[in-house]
């Protein structure tokens, strides 16, 4: 298999949890040409802005050679427009023109399986039990996985193709010189030295711990000598405002692009947040994590590969139904529990 296509469209945490499997593919088949189909808004997880179209194998683009950008959200918003059909057709022409031998669907949705099958690859591999069962109809090979964590499941899928888990010196995430310079300048402008990132947002409402409690935790963070930076993304402005207001001046809000968030997280001493993309990003960068979990299962979606403390109430029932109402179990997790976890992780940092 000389040309391999990866399909994992999004979101941030899911892409990050796929990177180790792709790194294993790269290490086992160094001469293979690797492509990736990904939503445009997450492409900076694979390559820094100016290197999306350039060759792979650099710090700016460490794992893949080609990136095929899609915008399924915009396509769904205007499914019958001529522009949508032109864009869809152009993407499939681009992918098929790359003449992939193998396509691997790490997402398990009907739309991701369609990209994998539509690539024209002779072999299309996916999970035996994908998220959407119809997706399995488009695979030529279905792989049963046993590991509880999604990152381990992705590695099992790669290993089914005679891929070995080898230690790799390749960084999983790209290095963006412009984002790194921005980060250094921004921290200097804010007079911030060592700091913790607090991330109150999440993919849906049921995973969100109350914003005002993040503000109270920020006070505990600054009491340890760290600055407290509240990171937020699109649609999370009110959460950030609530956290900063409740901090009594202890926290500062900071909004970043994906590349800037990678640079910022590299410099953090600690991360505090729920089941979210920024949490998985922190874990991938080996930043200690305090994870506040509600309906999702930490055994499947918890921080992986870094020092961490996971807080979850026994009253939280596992569900991935994307409910907006806050999970009742999250209300049971107190500021004192999270603040205690902050002190515990910092005290054991050099133990």
Token pair, residue 148, equals: 């509880």
Which among 201, 200, 208, 235 is positioned nearest to 73, based on CA atoms? 235
Q: How far is CA 129 from the centre of its chain?
A: 22
What's the whole-number mean pLDDT along residues 218-233? Answer: 97
When pLDDT is cut at 50, 70 and 90, the band that residue 349 belongs to is confident
When pLDDT is cut at 50, 70 and 90, the band that residue 351 belongs to is low
Domain ranges for the chain, please list them: 3-159, 177-347
146-167: per-residue pLDDT in tens?
999 999 999 999 999 988 877 6
Report whether pLDDT(254) > 90: yes
> What CATH number belongs to 177-347?
3.40.50.2000
Which among 140, 87, 142 is positioned nearest to 117, based on CA atoms? 140
The 10 Å Cβ neighbour count of residue 92 is: 17
The contacts of residue 98 (CB under 8 Å, 6+ apart) are 3, 5, 33, 35, 66, 68, 119
Report whether pLDDT(1) > 90: no
Query: What is the radius of gyration, based on Cα positions, of the chain?
Result: 20
> What CATH number belongs to 3-159?
3.40.50.2000
197-224: per-residue pLDDT in tens?
999 999 899 999 999 999 999 999 999 9
39-86: per-residue pLDDT in tens?
999 999 999 977 777 778 889 999 999 999 999 999 999 999 999 999
Q: What is the percentage of the chain residues whose pLDDT exceeds 70?
A: 98
What's the whole-number mean pLDDT along residues 222-235? Answer: 96
17-33: per-residue pLDDT in tens?
999 999 999 999 999 99
278-326: per-residue pLDDT in tens?
999 999 999 999 999 999 999 999 999 999 999 999 999 999 989 998 8
pLDDT for the residue numbered 169: 65
**Topology match between the domains 3-159 and 177-347:** yes
Token pair, residue 8, equals: 């994992």
77-131: per-residue pLDDT in tens?
999 999 999 999 999 999 999 999 999 999 999 999 999 999 999 999 999 999 9
* Spatial separation of the C-alpha atoms in residues 23 and 99, rounded to whole Å: 21
pTM of the predicted structure, to 2 decimals: 0.95
Q: Please say whether the beta carbons of 337 and 312 come within 8 A.
A: no
Between 170 and 77, name the one with better pLDDT: 77
Report whether pLDDT(134) > 70: yes
Average pLDDT of the chain, as a whole number: 95
Q: Where are the beta strands (DSSP E) in 194-277?
A: 195-199, 227-232, 251-255, 270-274
What's the whole-number mean pLDDT along residues 218-247? Answer: 97
pLDDT for the residue numbered 49: 76
Token pair, residue 330, equals: 């999250």
């Amino acid at each position: 298999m000389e040309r391999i296509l990866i399909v994992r469209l999004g979101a941030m945490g899911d892409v990050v949890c796929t990177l180790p499997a792709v790194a294993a593919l790269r290490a086992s088949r160094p001469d293979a040409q690797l492509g990736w189909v990904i939503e445009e808004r997450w492409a900076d997880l694979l390559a820094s802005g100016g290197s999306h179209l350039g060759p792979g194998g650099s710090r700016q683009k460490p794992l893949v050679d080609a990136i095929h950008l899609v915008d399924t959200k915009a396509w769904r918003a205007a499914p019958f427009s001529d522009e949508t059909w032109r864009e869809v057709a152009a993407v499939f022409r681009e992918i098929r023109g790359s003449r992939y031998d193998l396509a691997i669907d790490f997402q398990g949705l009907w739309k991701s399986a369609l990209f994998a099958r539509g690539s024209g690859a002779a072999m299309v591999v996916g999970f035996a039990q994908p998220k959407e069962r119809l997706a399995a109809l488009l695979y030529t090979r279905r792989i049963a996985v046993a590991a509880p964590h999604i990152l381990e499941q992705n590695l099992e899928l790669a290993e089914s193709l005679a891929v070995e888990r080898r230690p790799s010196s390749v960084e999983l995430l790209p290095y963006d010189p412009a984002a790194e310079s921005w980060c250094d300048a921004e921290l200097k402008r804010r007079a911030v030295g060592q700091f913790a990132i607090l991330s109150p947002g999440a993919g849906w409402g049921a995973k969100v711990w109350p914003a005002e409690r993040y503000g109270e935790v920020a006070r505990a963070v600054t009491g340890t000598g760290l600055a407290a930076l509240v990171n937020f993304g699109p649609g999370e402005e009110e959460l950030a405002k609530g956290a900063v207001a409740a901090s009594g001046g202890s926290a500062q809000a900071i909004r970043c692009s994906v590349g800037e968030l990678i640079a910022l997280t590299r410099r953090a001493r600690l991360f505090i947040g729920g089941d979210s993309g920024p949490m998985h990003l922190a874990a991938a960068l080996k930043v200690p994590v305090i994870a506040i979990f509600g309906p999702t299962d930490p055994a499947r979606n918890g921080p992986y590969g870094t020092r961490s403390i996971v807080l979850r109430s026994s009253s939280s029932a596992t569900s991935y139904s994307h409910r907006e109402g806050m999970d009742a179990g999250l209300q049971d997790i107190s500021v004192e529990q999270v603040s205690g976890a902050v002190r515990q992780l910092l005290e054991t940092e050099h133990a």
